[in-house]
Amino acid sequence: MTAPRSFSAVDVIRTKRDGGRLSDDQIRWFLDAYTRGEVADEQASSLLMAIFWRGLDAGELAVWTEAMIASGERTDLSSLSRPTVDKHSTGGVGDKVSLVLVPLVAACGAAVPQLSGRGLGHTGGTLDKMEAIPGWRALLPPDEMLRVLDSVGGVICAAGPGLAPADRKLYALRDVTGTVESIPLIASSIMSKKIAEGTSALVLDVKVGTGAFMKSEADARLLAETMVRIGEDAGVRTVALLTAMDEPLGRAAGNAVEVTETLDCFAGRGPSDLVEITLALAREMLTLVGISDDPSPALTDGRAGEAFGAIVRAQGGDLSALPTSDDVRVVPAPASGYVSRVDAMAVGMAAWRLGAGRARKEDPVSPIAGVIVEAKAGERVEEGQPLFALHVDDPARVDAALDALHDAVVLAPEPPALRPLVLDRIAV
């Protein structure tokens, strides 16, 4: 049903500014008019700031998300023979889970339409990691995406311009108006794209800790509960896991170095924390679509690795040409002891300063720059033993990266108590 066209943008802004509840028609009209250019950026910015301070109730949020989906296309995956399930992470340092998870779940019989994004600041983007593979294409037309999904069971690609265009415009505004840190706006942004992509089930990996967007478990839990409710209300079976992001996930933070670590997982050499999180998410995804297989054997018996290779080849990539750095700098331990803490934010900033990340969405990234964490929490090091290995693209960036790592590791005489990686499961 088309919303009335008789509203005033100023009246909508005032309603929310003064703590009122936006009507369903007000929301639908505003997002439709903004997407079509009839509402100015400054007016949309004002409404975003009002929402930032006043919030959206559950009913408003459901309609807001629905209107963002309705602003564009909705992918139809009903022609696929496999059940469809996707995963979304709120982002962290060294989070290459999607690269391992998509082919693993595909190898177990599901179809995974993983629409991913690029990194910004200290957090890496899945598309940036995959684009370190020469020839790999992030942009696939809808018909090609369906063919790849049907043939190999998984795809990792960018969302097309027709998917939730209202969100694309609003996200750009939030980034420059200080309104990113709003749980209703974060939740609707993520879920509008995931629902529009057409998947029947979704697992959310909501990170919490020093290297995550959500620093406190309470905030992460609220975001997870909000997104699960949006998904279920839209008919998408949705579960969320709260997972720790106090130190980098795995040992590699960068682009090509994270692809290499992905390949290590398929060869049985994956870091234990990365493997644990990946398998936990895979089990949730398979359960949601009624597949009872244990994903553990498929991770290392060749099936997941073959599926990853098939996905890469289907999107034009050549893993044999994965680039590496000829300039690797080692950061030694200043003393002996047990590593009690590796600051994820510091490692992410170091990788960013080496060139692995971007400050603005249009910035280029280096495929080879990155940081390898040689000693993680709970491990013992001797004085002079490597703590980090910096994979360098531009030597002029090294000093800034070293500054970021200056206090990144805390050493102690005794092994630390480590908190669980999976903190909680959120479902309706």
**Per-residue pLDDT for 374 more than 90?**
yes
**Per-residue pLDDT for 120 more than 90?**
no
Set 28, 88, 129, 283: catalytic member: 88
Mean pLDDT for the stretch of residues 150-165: 92
Position 275 in a domain: yes
Same domain, yes or no, for 137 and 216?
Answer: yes
Set 169, 193, 207, 283: catalytic member: 193
Same domain, yes or no, for 142 and 253?
Answer: yes
Set 189, 192, 325, 366: catalytic member: 189
Q: What percentage of the chain exceeds 70 in pLDDT?
A: 97
Q: Could you report how far apart the first and last alpha carbons of the chain are, in Å?
A: 29
Same domain, yes or no, for 290 and 404?
Answer: no
Mean pLDDT for the stretch of residues 138-143: 92
**Per-residue pLDDT for 318 more than 60?**
yes
Known catalytic residue: 189? yes
Known catalytic residue: 88? yes
Cα–Cα nearest to 387, from 263, 212, 251: 251
Position 74 in a domain: no
Q: Which domain holds residue 359?
A: 324-412
pLDDT at 176: 82
Known catalytic residue: 407? no
Same domain, yes or no, for 97 and 205?
Answer: yes
Mean pLDDT for the stretch of residues 262-273: 97
The Cα–Cα gap between 426 and 423 comes to 10
Same domain, yes or no, for 213 and 353?
Answer: no
pLDDT at 194: 94
Mean pLDDT for the stretch of residues 249-273: 97
Mean pLDDT for the stretch of residues 159-166: 89
Set 16, 169, 174, 229: catalytic member: 174
CATH number at residue 249: 3.40.1030.10
Give me 336's structure tokens: 């002996």
Tens digit of pLDDT for each residue in 337-360? 999 999 999 999 999 999 998 777
Same domain, yes or no, for 335 and 315?
Answer: no
290-to-11, 83, 293, 368 alpha-carbon distances in Å: 48, 9, 9, 39
Known catalytic residue: 167? yes
The Cα–Cα gap between 147 and 311 comes to 11
Position 68 in a domain: no
pLDDT at 118: 77
pLDDT band at 213 (very low <50, low <70, confident <90, very high): confident
Domain boundary, last residue among 320, 352, 381: 320
Tens digit of pLDDT for each residue in 84-103? 999 999 988 999 999 999 99
pLDDT band at 1 (very low <50, low <70, confident <90, very high): very low
Set 128, 167, 205, 233: catalytic member: 167
Domain count, the chain: 3
Same domain, yes or no, for 265 and 389?
Answer: no
CB distance 333 to 375 below 8 Å: yes
